[in-house]
Structure formats: C-alpha cells, structure tokens
Amino acid sequence: MKWLSIATVTAGLAGSAAAQAESVPYTDAETGIAFQSYPSADGVEFRVALPATIEAGKPYDVILQVEAPKSLGWIGWAWAGQMTYNPLTIIWANGDQVMHSSRMAFGYSSPTAYPDATYQILKGTGVKGDTLKFTALCKGCSSWTDFTGEPFTVDASQEARFAYAFSANPVAAPADNGTTFTIHDGVGHWYHDLPGAKSASFADWVAKNTVGANGTAPGMNGTAVLSATRPRGAPFRFMERVRRDLGVDARNRA
C-alpha cells in the first residue's frame, strides 16, 4: 500500500515535469516564422523564435510576436516572469498603428523606460480587424542586469518562465511610447519551450521580414522613442535605483 502511493506520487511528478512547457508550435502565415506560441486564457498569444545556436550565458537575440485583441488598453510581457527588475515589452494599438515601449519596473508601480532592450520591427506588425499583431527582433530581452547587479541570461536550453499583464484601460497618451498607464486588470505566468523555439532559419526570417530602410511601414511604429536614454559609459542609473530600492524585496515570485 505504502509502495503504491510512493509510485503514484513519483509518476505524478514525472508527468508534471514533462508537461511543463505550455507553448505550442505555431507558424505565422504572414512572415513564415515558426514560433513557439503560448495561447493565454486572456486571448493574447505570446510567441518566441530563437537562433539555432545559443551559447550558455551569452546574450542572444529573440524574435517575439504578440497577437491580441486591439481593444485592450495595453499588454505587457515580462522576460523573467515577474513584474520587477526584468525587461518589460509593452504593446498597444494606436488607431491602425501598433505601439511598443521598452520598460522596467523597480517596484510595484508604473514602469519606467528601459533603453537597454531595443526592438527592430518586422513584417507582421499592424492592426487588422479587431486584432493587433506585433513582430520584432529584440536585442536585450534575453539578458540584463538582475536585482543583485549581476548579469542574468534567460537559459535557452530549457523552458523559461515568463509573465504577462494586461489592462482594458487605454494608456494615457496612445501616440507616445513614453506614456503612463494604470495597473493591470490581470496577470499570468507560463512556461515557454525555448529549445523548441530554436531554428537555423532565424537569420533568414529576420532578413526576409525586415521592413523599409528606416524600419517603418504603414501600420507600424518602428521608432524607439525613449525618454530615459542612457549614454554608453554614463553612470548606470539602473544600479543606482537598485541600491535605492534595496530595502524593498522586489524579487516577488508570485
């Protein structure tokens, strides 16, 4: 009897480990990019494609795609699966344009501009009917300086825990990617299959889906307007904030 219950528990644990990744393969017809896609219960899909070869601990580029109802006020993607001290990709529709803003939160309050993640807009970005789609090459979404001041890289050899948040309330100034916005109506966490997102076609996909010489095309907002650009070599304001905030444990893993 005792043996049976241990076996049952063991089988259960093995099953849950194998079923951990919640993303599924998805090929976007518009770009031909084969993503691992997480269809959230809130109607927003979060997709990742990666280069075939990623050296452990080294920064790497990602192609991300978010597809969502355009009626949402904003949608956020948190690259370490938590609100604070990780790059946040924020997206919303401004009429027929898809806006994006790179942010970081240093507490449970409005996130500020984060210039160390940059986005090159790709084809597959725009508003069609009731849906917005954002597709971009991100440099700086997979690695950053963590809460303790150490370099951190998302481990692409296994599933990664990401998080999202969204609000039905529009941002304060939809045409301005430095805009403020109010707290989310919902948040969620998921495990993304990163090994399954790797492909030797990565560079080809970027080349084929690069839009216009200046990175813009109708229906897209490809300009990285950031209000807190940090000149290279200038004192690292991020670390100043970390020290200032050290009294607050922001490593909430809820």
**What residues line the site for ligand HEM (CB under 6 A)?**
76, 78, 82-84, 88, 90, 108-111, 163-165, 181-184, 187, 252, 254
Copy the structure tokens of residue 124. Answer: 């597959």
Q: How far is the CB of 251 from ligand HEM (least distance, A)?
A: 9
Nearer to ligand HEM by Cβ, of 84 and 209: the residue is 84
Query: Alpha helix (H) ranges present in 68-185?
Result: none
DSSP letter, residue 189: E
Q: How far is the CB of 85 from ligand HEM (least distance, A)?
A: 9
Distance, in Å, from the CA atom of 222 to the CA atom of 99, rounded to the nearest integer, reads 8
Nearer to ligand HEM by Cβ, of 110 and 229: the residue is 110
Nearer to ligand HEM by Cβ, of 111 and 124: the residue is 111
Task: Give Rg (Cα) of the chain.
Answer: 19
Apex CA 56: angle with CA 63 and CA 142, to 5°?
35
Copy the structure tokens of residue 115. Answer: 């210039």
Q: How far is the CB of 89 from ligand HEM (least distance, A)?
A: 8
Q: Please tell me whether residue 217 adopts helix, strand or coil conformation.
A: coil
> Please, are residues 212 and 191 in contact by the beta-carbon 8 Å criterion?
no
Copy the structure tokens of residue 191. Answer: 């495990």
The answer for residues whose C-beta is within 8 angstroms of residue 106's C-beta and 6 or more apart is: 84, 85, 112, 241, 242, 245, 250
> Please, are residues 162 and 46 in contact by the beta-carbon 8 Å criterion?
yes
Distance, in Å, from the CA atom of 153 to the CA atom of 62, rounded to the nearest integer, reads 12
Q: How far is the CB of 77 from ligand HEM (least distance, A)?
A: 6
Separation of CA 242 from chain center: 21
Nearer to ligand HEM by Cβ, of 46 and 60: the residue is 46
Residue nearest to ligand HEM (CB): 76
